[in-house]
Amino acid sequence: MHALNVAGIQLGVACAGIRYPDRRDLVVIEAVAGTRAAAVFTQNAFCAAPVTVAQAHLANAAPRYLVINTGNANAGTGAQGLADAEATCRALAEHTHCRPEEVLPFSTGVIGEPLPLERLIAGLPVALAALHPESWLEAAHGIMTTDTRPKWASRRLLLAGREVNVTGIAKGAGMICPNMATLLAFVATDAAADETLLQQILHEAVADSFNAITVDGDTSTNDALVLLATGQSGATAPVEGEERIRFANAVREVCIELAQAIIRDGEGATKFITIQVEGGRDAAECRRTAYTIAHSPLVKTAFFASDPNWGRILAAVGRAELAELDLERVAIYLDEIGIVRAGGRALDYTEAQGQQVMARSDITIRVELGRGTATARIWTTDLSFDYVRINAEYRT
């Protein structure tokens, strides 16, 4: 299967030598005039310069171009970083005869180092010359940092009897946590939709995808997700009704597939872990419980070792700050195996059963709180030796 082209979108990639020679590290995405956009960004207070500039530009103009560099985050760089992000937009605008406000900049890589602006700007003509509607996979390669493989997803649906495509790419493998995560993602559709509807649909999709994943609990300075709608298919996404639902579901499915691909490619990850919390008083406490489990180094290292040390999961649930938790009602499962019931080890549970589940590469932890009807689901990884090595050697 290949990525579906989105009418009105072209992508170009260059090797600009931003951090390493001969590595694809600069991507330009061109959107046809009239394209509408929505976006969400990191909630980290130390947001990167390109995030600040992209937010300001998006508030003032519909984007015609997105420019993404890897190898340097342009974060923690103060006034110079902002000037460099603006200079990037001006340089691309001069090449393409658009306004600088119609360019959105994005960066990912090492924090706190000056952006090698001259090399980035020198690479822009190369990326522009390479613009092509079928370059989604090439662009997915071009935005990678510690990722080991490119991440893309596509869906096709019918709106008003016309075929509509939705395609997205993403990068991310470490420094992954909600409130966006250390990731960049770019999704486009050839349906027409106004900004209000796009923003609604994007927020709905993010809640079930990029805000439902974690590798290490660290929220990046550079997270950004952009949804573009070119309108080139001739179909318009309605604001309500069955077709609105189908369009929103297609965007949601693309985002979920991309988010899950990030977890499967988590730095050093050997396990893909689903954490499902049920029976909560509200979704917030279900999510809090899920993330308490997911962020526990003891739980994560047990999964890496394939060790059914279920007491670590029990302890994580117990410290999730659930007021008046009735332990007798709590049940915990590893896949189909019940490990905790009535406040303690399930009477029919055996270590051999737990070991059999923990040896799997895909595992579900299901927690039943027994205090309501709310649920939450997130995805995470184990914590391996390679995670430590990758991040210890990141700048070397």
At 234-266, the pLDDT tens digits run 999 999 999 999 999 999 999 999 999 998 987
Long-range contacts of 118-123 (CB under 8 A, 24+ apart): 119/16, 119/17, 119/18, 120/16, 120/18, 120/26, 120/69, 120/88, 121/87, 121/88, 121/91, 122/16, 123/14, 123/15, 123/16, 123/17, 123/18, 123/25, 123/26
> Which residues contact residue 395 at a Cβ distance below 8 angstroms, ignoring those fewer than 6 apart?
110
| Judgement on whether residues 174 and 56 belong to the same structural domain of the protein | yes
Residue 361 lies in a domain: yes
207-223 mean pLDDT:
81
Task: Give residue 269's pLDDT band: very low, low, confident or very high (50, 70, 90).
Answer: confident
| Judgement on whether residues 199 and 344 belong to the same structural domain of the protein | no
φ/ψ bin of 385: left (φ > 0), alpha (ψ from -120 to 50), beta (otherwise): alpha
Please state, for a pLDDT cut of 70, what percent of the chain lies above it: 95
Look up the pTM and report it.
0.92
Q: What's at 352, amino acid-wise?
A: A
Choose the catalytic residue: 35, 182, 292, 381. 182
Among 233, 248, 264, which residue terminates a domain?
A: 264
Residue 2 lies in a domain: no
347-359 mean pLDDT:
94
Q: What is the pLDDT of residue 219?
A: 67
Q: CB of 42 within 8 A of CB of 223?
A: yes
| Judgement on whether residues 197 and 301 belong to the same structural domain of the protein | no
pLDDT above 50: residue 105: yes
Q: What is the pLDDT of residue 221?
A: 78
Residue-by-residue DSSP string for 325-392: --GGG-EEEETTEEEEETTEE-TT--HHHHHHHHTSSEEEEEEE--S-SEEEEEEEE---HHHHHHHH
**Per-residue pLDDT tens for 279-302?**
999 999 999 999 999 999 999 999
Average pLDDT value over all residues in the chain: 93
pLDDT above 60: residue 213: yes
221-234 mean pLDDT:
93
pLDDT above 80: residue 391: no
Residue ranges of alpha helices (H) inside the chain are 49-60, 78-96, 117-129, 136-142, 195-207, 242-264, 283-294, 297-304, 310-318, 351-358, 385-392
Task: Read off the CATH number of the domain in which 79 is found.
Answer: 3.60.70.12
**Per-residue pLDDT tens for 45-93?**
888 999 999 999 999 999 999 999 999 999 999 999 999 999 999 999 9
Residue 53 lies in a domain: yes
| Judgement on whether residues 73 and 113 belong to the same structural domain of the protein | yes
For residue 305, give the 3-state DSSP assignment.
coil
**Per-residue pLDDT tens for 141-183?**
999 988 889 999 999 999 989 999 999 999 987 665 656 545 8
Residue 4 lies in a domain: no
Among 264, 290, 311, which residue terminates a domain?
A: 264
| Judgement on whether residues 13 and 132 belong to the same structural domain of the protein | yes
| Judgement on whether residues 231 and 294 belong to the same structural domain of the protein | no
| Judgement on whether residues 128 and 210 belong to the same structural domain of the protein | yes
Q: What's at 135, amino acid-wise?
A: S
| Judgement on whether residues 184 and 200 belong to the same structural domain of the protein | yes
146 is catalytic: no
Q: What is the pLDDT of residue 241?
A: 94
**Per-residue pLDDT tens for 323-335?**
999 999 999 999 9
Residue 368 lies in a domain: yes
pLDDT above 90: residue 44: no
Q: What is the pLDDT of residue 369?
A: 97
pLDDT above 70: residue 217: no
| Judgement on whether residues 56 and 102 belong to the same structural domain of the protein | yes
| Judgement on whether residues 168 and 285 belong to the same structural domain of the protein | no
Residue 93 lies in a domain: yes
Q: What is the pLDDT of residue 277?
A: 98
Number of domains, the chain: 2
Residue 165 is part of which domain span? 9-264
Among 237, 264, 291, which residue terminates a domain?
A: 264
Q: What is the pLDDT of residue 181?
A: 47
Residue 132 lies in a domain: yes
Residue 3 lies in a domain: no
Task: Give residue 384's pLDDT band: very low, low, confident or very high (50, 70, 90).
Answer: confident
Task: Give residue 220's pLDDT band: very low, low, confident or very high (50, 70, 90).
Answer: confident
Q: What's at 287, amino acid-wise?
A: R
pLDDT above 70: residue 185: yes
| Judgement on whether residues 80 and 147 belong to the same structural domain of the protein | yes
Distance CA 364, CA 208 (A): 17
Task: Read off the CATH number of the domain in which 320 is found.
Answer: 3.10.20.340
| Judgement on whether residues 59 and 89 belong to the same structural domain of the protein | yes
- CA nearest to 164, candidates 96, 259, 86, 233: 233
